[in-house]
Chains A and B, each alone.
Chain A
Amino acid sequence: MGLVSSTGSNYYTNETLGSYQFTSLQNVIDQFMIAYVGEDKIISKIKRLDVVFHAKRALQEFSFDTFKCTKAYELVIPPTLAIPIPQDYVNYTKLCWTDASGIEHVLYPAKDTSNPSNIAQANTTGAAPYYTFNSSGDLDLNTESDTAAAYLGSTPSENNNSDDFDYDDELFNPNVGQRYGLNPAHANVNGSFYIDEIRGFIRFSSNISGKTVILKYISDSLGTDAEMQVHKFAEEAMYKYIAHAILSTRANTPAGLVARFKKEAFAAKRTAKLRLSNIKLQEITQTLRGKSKQIKH
């Protein structure tokens, strides 16, 4: 009856360590077919491929907002200040560079720049012909936009520190009223980045060049068979999600049944999130021990 089938020596030498906390999507599908589909069950009959569809959709949805983010790349930013977006990238959760102590410094997105397509203009007078075309009849595009080149070439304002200290006193000039009205979103010296969605690159500000950057991102967990797995904390939520998805897309299903499973799916997902948020009493206690400390400015 026990689920651990291999010996200790086999686990520590041949198996993926820590794999017991997960159950494969295939198992979820098989077990759903056993427990939910059949005579006298909630779903009397359904094609397995339909269940596979809903199970994969469930895995996608759970990957976006319930499962822990486990995918991370570490790389050194090249002189081009751009790295390609990973193959299975859906969105990033954190971008940071690490210092010599291994401490992460968060990079924030530069929302006020981009890398638009740079159309080769035939002349600057504004008269026809406006643009040049290639042999296929499509618009000629320059390799990089002027905007992107300017962003990459400029020294970020936070690194322009030459006037910060005037030797008149011990204070940095920006600290004497010059930061009034500063937008906190831009108030850091860590650097910035923006995502060039069209070309599939993440571009960084020039002060990140040569630094080690960590990209933490989420996928939809459907990239490979090996990553199609569900944490056991979220297994029940998967069943409920699939059941609700099937019932709600079928004709002639009693509305009460659909509503019941909608509630159950919601509750199960919330339980899964709570479990996966990994809250430990001792850790909360430790955090709250600092509650009476004076907030430093």
Chain B
Amino acid sequence: MAVDINKVYQRVLTIANKEQRGYITPQQFNILANQAQMDLFEQYFYDINQANRVTGNSTEFSDPLHILEEKISSFRINETLLLASTGKFEDTFDLDITGWTAVSGANGAVTHVVPAIGNNFDGGIKILQSANGAGISAESATFVLVAGDKYVVKYNLIDMSEPASYSILVEDASSSSHQFVVDEPAVGSFEFTFIADTSGVHNIEIKNLDTTNGSKYITIGDLSVTQVDNTTLPANLYRLGEIFYKSPGAAYPATVVEVNSNEMTTYNLSPLTRPTTSNPAYVRSGASSIKIHPTTLETGSAVTCNYMKTPATASWGYNVVLGDALYNSNTTTNFDLHESEEVNLVNTILKLVGIMIEDQSVYQAAANEEVKDIQQEKQ
């Protein structure tokens, strides 16, 4: 669904007539590309507001509001936990697997998988079961957790020769653990949450539970343990949507309403309006944090948020070969925008190029195209 940045670059170069008017370097293009992407992206929100105020239509593909909603749908992130900005434990396994030790190593091997084209340059830890009819596991270095706090374990299973099952355990010093068992292993990203029972050092153990001696293995690409602090907003947040609070055992979450901090002071004064776990509220306490009221939440409850993520920074990747920039798809990041925005991206970048190279005709042509598009779209 993304827009191929190489296509856009080539078109911009072609229209700008690179041979005569001047060449746009990749660095310049990357700067202008992101300026154009953010310009188009920000405009969506105002266009949605405008589309809401006019009568739409009931066609399947041509309702303006529906079109806009589809364009921003790839940026919507729903029901995300609010995690602390720094993790309690994190390993990407890209360089090595230092800190990990094999448990029951005689039953197989725990090895490092080096980043390569074959694994999309994502290194991992491979846990292979191949002997003695018993499982093998890898144990991490220790980290400190606090009793009563909620944590989320996230990991990527990047490769496997499907074992019967595997498990991930978070253990404290007395080997009391929270265990996540997967009986039908599959490649992908997974997560699970738990509430720490004890304070102090913990570690993670990844267990390959296969006992067939059939050389079954799992490879974990990255793994992290992060506190669910119900305060810190996601790092890639662009616009915050709704916050939800789900009581333990509740079928559906309740919406947490946003109020200003001065309003919160007033609401807290009245027993009839004071936020409760049934009707919670929050205030923005910073660009990337919120504070939920009541401040003491129920044990086992979950706070999640919907938000619009920031588009990834588009980058035309290249290698310099004999003084020329040669396209490299491996280091490229395409535009996050909807495919239908390809032409608009070209026009918007051309406008900026026209300003940059001080060519009125390029700017004017691109601006005219844009005006024509707007007239068609918003008539």
Q: Considering the chains assembled together, what is the distance between the CA atoms of A47 and B257 in angstroms?
A: 7
Which residue on chain B has the smallest CB distance to residue A59? B272
A114 within 8 A of B: no
B267 within 8 A of A: yes
A49 touches B279 (CB 8 A): yes
B257 touches A48 (CB 8 A): yes
Q: A39-B52, A57-B272 are in contact. Are A52 and B279 (CB under 8 A)?
A: yes
1/0 per residue, CB under 8 A from A, across B275-312: the answer is: 10011010000000000000000000000000000000
Q: Considering the chains assembled together, what is the distance between the CA atoms of A53 and B259 in angstroms?
A: 15
1/0 per residue, CB under 8 A from B, across A36-58: the answer is: 00010000000111101100110
Q: Considering the chains assembled together, what is the distance between the CA atoms of A53 and B271 in angstroms?
A: 9
- B-chain residues with CB within 8 Å of residue A48 when the two chains form the complex: 255, 257, 279, 281
Nearest chain B CB to A26 CB, angstrom units: 5
- B-chain residues with CB within 8 Å of residue A225 when the two chains form the complex: 278
B273 touches A53 (CB 8 A): yes
- B contact residues, range: 10 to 19
A56 touches B52 (CB 8 A): no
B58 within 8 A of A: no
In the complex, chain B residues 188-228 whose Cβ is within 8 Å of any chain A Cβ: none
B20 within 8 A of A: no
Nearest chain A CB to B235 CB, angstrom units: 28
Q: Considering the chains assembled together, what is the distance between the CA atoms of A47 and B263 in angstroms?
A: 11
B270 within 8 A of A: yes
A214 within 8 A of B: no
Q: A39-B52, A52-B279, A225-B278 are in contact. Are A47 and B259 (CB under 8 A)?
A: yes
Main secondary structure of the interface of A (DSSP, over half): helix
Which residue on chain A has the smallest CB distance to residue B281? A49
Contact of B270 among A26, A39, A53, A222 (CB under 8 A): A53
Q: Considering the chains assembled together, what is the distance between the CA atoms of A166 and B278 in angstroms?
A: 70
- B-chain residues with CB within 8 Å of residue A49 when the two chains form the complex: 257, 259, 267, 273, 275, 279, 281
A29 within 8 A of B: yes
Q: Which of B255, B270, B278 has the most CB of A within 10 A?
A: B278
Nearest chain B CB to A43 CB, angstrom units: 15
Q: Considering the chains assembled together, what is the distance between the CA atoms of A138 and B272 in angstroms?
A: 35
Q: Considering the chains assembled together, what is the distance between the CA atoms of A47 and B266 in angstroms?
A: 13
Q: Which of A29, A49, A222, A225 has the most CB of B within 10 A?
A: A49
Nearest chain A CB to B258 CB, angstrom units: 9
Which residue on chain A has the smallest CB distance to residue B274? A49
Nearest chain B CB to A290 CB, angstrom units: 47
Q: Considering the chains assembled together, what is the distance between the CA atoms of A26 and B279 in angstroms?
A: 8
Q: Considering the chains assembled together, what is the distance between the CA atoms of A248 and B239 in angstroms?
A: 34
B278 touches A26 (CB 8 A): yes
Q: Which of A39, A48, A53, A222 has the most CB of B within 10 A?
A: A48
Nearest chain B CB to A260 CB, angstrom units: 26
Nearest chain B CB to A242 CB, angstrom units: 13
- B-chain residues with CB within 8 Å of residue A53 when the two chains form the complex: 270, 272-273
- B-chain residues with CB within 8 Å of residue A50 when the two chains form the complex: 273
- A-chain residues with CB within 8 Å of residue B263 when the two chains form the complex: 47
Nearest chain B CB to A92 CB, angstrom units: 23
Nearest chain B CB to A34 CB, angstrom units: 11
Q: Considering the chains assembled together, what is the distance between the CA atoms of A228 and B255 in angstroms?
A: 19
Q: Which of B52, B257, B259 has the most CB of A within 10 A?
A: B257
- A-chain residues with CB within 8 Å of residue B281 when the two chains form the complex: 48-49
- A-chain residues with CB within 8 Å of residue B272 when the two chains form the complex: 52-53, 56-57, 222
Which residue on chain B has the smallest CB distance to residue A54? B272
- B-chain residues with CB within 8 Å of residue A47 when the two chains form the complex: 257, 259, 263
- A-chain residues with CB within 8 Å of residue B275 when the two chains form the complex: 49
1/0 per residue, CB under 8 A from A, across B244-280: the answer is: 0000000000010101000100010010110100110
Q: Considering the chains assembled together, what is the distance between the CA atoms of A29 and B273 in angstroms?
A: 13
Which residue on chain A has the smallest CB distance to residue B293? A49
- B-chain residues with CB within 8 Å of residue A222 when the two chains form the complex: 272
Q: Considering the chains assembled together, what is the distance between the CA atoms of A53 and B274 in angstroms?
A: 9
Which residue on chain B has the smallest CB distance to residue A50? B273
In the complex, chain A residues 192-242 whose Cβ is within 8 Å of any chain B Cβ: 222, 225
Which residue on chain A has the smallest CB distance to residue B267? A49
Q: Considering the chains assembled together, what is the distance between the CA atoms of A56 and B270 in angstroms?
A: 12
In the complex, chain A residues 35-87 whose Cβ is within 8 Å of any chain B Cβ: 39, 47-50, 52-53, 56-57
Nearest chain B CB to A67 CB, angstrom units: 18
Q: Considering the chains assembled together, what is the distance between the CA atoms of A52 and B276 in angstroms?
A: 10
Nearest chain B CB to A141 CB, angstrom units: 31
The 15 sampled A-B contact pairs (Cβ below 8 Å) are A26-B278, A29-B279, A39-B52, A47-B259, A48-B255, A49-B267, A49-B273, A49-B279, A49-B281, A50-B273, A52-B272, A52-B273, A52-B279, A53-B272, A57-B272
List the interface of chain A (C-beta within 8 A of B). 26, 29, 39, 47-50, 52-53, 56-57, 222, 225
13 more A-B contacts (CB under 8 A) besides A26-B278, A48-B255? A29-B279, A47-B257, A47-B263, A48-B281, A49-B257, A49-B259, A49-B279, A50-B273, A52-B272, A52-B279, A53-B270, A53-B273, A225-B278
Task: Give 9 nearest A-B pairs by CB, closest first.
Answer: A48-B257, A53-B273, A56-B272, A53-B272, A52-B279, A49-B273, A49-B267, A26-B278, A47-B257
List the interface of chain B (C-beta within 8 A of A). 52, 255, 257, 259, 263, 267, 270, 272-273, 275, 278-279, 281
